[in-house]
Structure 1
Amino acid sequence: MSLVAVDFVPMATTDLEWVAAQDRLLYPFPWSAQNFADSMIAGYSCWIVFEGGERSGYAVLMMVLDEAHILNISVCRSRQGFGLGRQLLQHLGEVARKAGGSQILLEVRPSNESALALYRKVGFEMIGRRKGYYPACNGREDALVMRLPL
């Protein structure tokens, strides 16, 4: 676990280039700064994780009725493995509950073993599979649909 202060701050337009740059470092098919800006404009719950005053991660949560959908959740590579992902998931759960959410849904690549392990560890269960959901280097990759009751 992290021993420094962790804060969750709503994403601002001044964060967009940093977030997009991090997404490019983390994923072969990243979101653009405009994707994050569009999420903010749409009123989604967009967050930056600060650890000891430094940006260390980010997330986008969309509420649909009583369902919370995690659209993007990421921890900077240099800060992975220190419990920030778990803390970020807990924060999103609190945000979703306050908004009337009864469950959180997300999609994850089967090849993203570290994310799958974290989601299972905090109680997410697989409820479905979307064939060819994600672009991949050799065509398309399925998405595992996971759910966590709140």
Structure 2
Amino acid sequence: MSAEVDQLIRVRGMRARDVPAVLAIEQVSYGYPWSERIFRDCLRVGYRGWVATDLNEAVVGYGLLSVAVGEAHVLNLCVAPDWRGRGIAALVLEAMITQAVAERAETVLLEVRPSNRSARRLYKRRGFKRIATRPGYYPAADGREDALLLALELDI
């Protein structure tokens, strides 16, 4: 991650008014995007959300995390296509891990598509380990795609 990214990007809590911008990124990023209702419900029930914004406060990435009973789960992490490869996902992921530690989670879990090589590299660099495969977890153009279940053990 470059110092330039740190100076250009701010990571802050997601607000309800961020949902339209988050949804726009979601829709251009995934063949099977979450709906606006899912994002709003996540915020309503108290899941933690973050957005990465540029100098003009435009949302360029986001993440959602749930924490319960010593376990955190990364529900969604995405960066706008034009902003990928600049370390933004790593910044949002760190915000989520920091929150997990603050809430005394022992483990952070997430699912990732085997085909999502850039996300898998990010998680590997951060220390996530593969612990299982969830067969047919994700919808895909040719049927279903497995999910790799990854875990990061936290020192609390």
TM-score (norm 1): 0.95
Q: What is the rounded CA distance, in whole Å, between the counterparts of 1:135 and 1:64 in structure 2?
A: 27
How far apart are residue 3 of structure 1 and its match? 5.0
Contact 1:4 1:51 in 2 (8 A): no
- Equivalent residue for 1:50, pick from 53, 61, 73: 53
Contact 2:133 2:147 in 1 (8 A): yes
Q: How many equivalent pairs are there?
A: 150
Match of 1:32 in 2: 35
Superimposed CA distance per residue, residues 47-94 of structure 1 (whole angstroms, 9 cap, x where no aligned partner): 111232332110110012111100000111111111111111111110
Q: What is the rounded CA distance, in whole Å, between the counterparts of 1:9 and 1:117 in structure 2?
A: 24
TM-score (norm 2): 0.92
Tell me the secondary structure at the aligned position of residue 81 of structure 1: coil
Structure 2 residue 94 is matched with structure 1 residue 66: no
Matches for 1:61-140 after TM superposition, within 5 Å: 61-140=65-144
**One-letter amino acid of the counterpart of residue 86, structure 1:** A
Percent identity, aligned pairs only, is 37
Q: What is the rounded CA distance, in whole Å, between the counterparts of 2:79 and 2:27 in structure 1?
A: 12
CA RMSD of aligned residues (A): 1.1
Unmatched segments (≥5 aa) in structure 1: none
Tell me the secondary structure at the aligned position of residue 101 of structure 2: helix
Q: What is the rounded CA distance, in whole Å, between the counterparts of 2:6 and 2:62 in structure 1?
A: 19
